[in-house]
Structures are given as C-alpha cells and as structure tokens.
Amino acid sequence: MKINPWALPALALLTATCFGPAAQAEITFRHAVTGETLDLSYAKKGPDEAFKKFAATGKNPYNGDKAAIEKGHSLYLTACSGCHGHEAEGKLGPGLADDYWTYPRALTDVGLFEILFGGAQGMMGPQYTNLSNDDLLLIQSWIRSLYKGDPAKAEWLK
C-alpha cells in the first residue's frame, strides 16, 4: 500500500489531535502564587522513578510507606524544621498537620509538591535547588503522616 507523501502531515496532525491528550497524561505543575508552569528541569538531580509515577497520577507513591516516611522526617528536620518546627507545629512558618492551608491546593499531593518545589509568598522559598523531587516527595509523605484533621478534607487520602 502506497501513502501519498502529501498526506503524512495531515495524518500526523490527526493522530496528535485524536491521541495526543490521552497519551500524555503527565500533570502540569504550577507555581502556587503566580500560576506559571514550573520548570522541573531546574530540580536537583536524584532518583526519579517515584516522581515519574507521581507526575502521571498526582498521587505520592510514598504516602503510607513507613521507610519513606522515616527518610522524609530526616530530610524535613534538615530542610524545614527551622521555620515549621520539629514536629511541623509551626514557628515562623505555619503548622502543617491540620486542616488549615494558606494555599488550598496543598490539600492535594500535587498542590503541596508545587509549594515545596516552587515556593510561595513570604519566607517560603523554592526548594528545588536544595532537594531533589524525590526528596520533596519523601518530605511530603512525612507531612501527610502527621495529619490530625478531618479525613474527609484530606484530598490525598481519596
């Protein structure tokens, strides 16, 4: 079977239009304040298998994993406790174990990752230069393990 070479661009466009969005399920991560797309290429290098799963599903694969939560706690103590307290009770920065989030998107795993990666207003600077995406997911799993609020409000549990 011969294909007219002039038909190839049209076939490529049709294929991309019909199958592109279904084939590309990766999430677009956005800055918590500006809404601009975050450039993940700036992230500190590290393991990325868990992040690939996260980028495809929006669910942190480390949530509920005891070994990952312990690693996340250790990373948190180094990188976050100075502002958020040793047990995430809040100091200069807000507490992280209750129902109140300055940025409601933090009720989702994607939203919390966006804040950790890209920063927010005030003193919460971007962490992508200090921590890999994997480190951020580990820290996030520890933060989620502390939750003392209403489970119905915890989007990451759904």
The predicted pLDDT at position 66 comes to 98
157/90: higher pLDDT: 90
Per-residue confidence band for 17, with pLDDT thresholds at 50, 70 and 90: very low
Per-residue confidence band for 25, with pLDDT thresholds at 50, 70 and 90: low
The predicted pLDDT at position 122 comes to 87
103-132 pLDDT, tens per residue? 989 999 999 999 999 999 888 999 999 999
Is residue 34 scored above 80 in pLDDT? yes
| DSSP states along 105-147 | GGGSHHHHHHHHHH--STT----TTTSBHHHHHHHHHHHHHT-
| CATH class in words for 26-157 | mainly alpha
Whether the Cβ atoms of residue 133 and residue 126 lie closer than 8 Å to each other: no
Count of residues in the chain: 158
32/20: higher pLDDT: 32
Q: How deeply is 148 buried, as exposed, middle or buried, from its count of CB atoms within 10 A (0-12, 13-18, 19+)?
A: exposed
Tell me if residue 44 falls in helix, strand or coil. strand
The predicted pLDDT at position 157 comes to 83
- List the domain boundaries for the chain: 26-157
Cα gap 42→119, rounded to integer Å: 13
Query: Could you give the C-alpha distances from 112 to 15, 31, 56, 59, 60, in angstroms and in order?
Result: 35, 11, 16, 11, 10
Both tokens of residue 121?
Answer: 């207003």
Per-residue confidence band for 24, with pLDDT thresholds at 50, 70 and 90: very low
